[in-house]
Amino acid sequence: MKTFEGSMTALATPFKNGKLDEDAYRALVDRQVYGGTSVILPIGTTGEAVTMTADERAQTVKVAVEAARGRVPVVAGAGSNSTAETIESVGRVRELGADGALIVTPYYNKPTQFGLLQHFRAIAKAHPGFPLIAYNVPGRTGVDLLPETVMWLCDIPEVVALKEATGNMARAVDLVEKCGDRISLLSGDDFTVLPFIACGGKGVVSVSSNVAPRMMADLVAAARAGDLAKARDLQVQMNALHKLLFVESNPIPVKWALHLMGVFGPEIRLPLTPLSEPQAAKLKEELTRLNLL
Catalytic residues: 135, 163
CA angle 231, 233, 133 (to 5 degrees): 40
> Among residues 282, 44, 22, 29, which one has the least CA distance to residue 163?
44
Contact between 175 and 185 (Cβ < 8 Å): yes
In this structure, how many other beta carbons lie within 10 angstroms of the beta carbon of residue 58? 18
Would you call 160 helix, strand, or coil by DSSP? strand
List beta partners, residue 68.
none
CA–CA distance, 208 with 79 (Å, rounded to integer): 22
Which helix (H) or strand (E) segment holds residue 289: the answer is helix 277-289
CA–CA distance, 224 with 218 (Å, rounded to integer): 10
CA–CA distance, 171 with 194 (Å, rounded to integer): 15
In this structure, how many other beta carbons lie within 10 angstroms of the beta carbon of residue 187? 28
CA–CA distance, 81 with 111 (Å, rounded to integer): 9
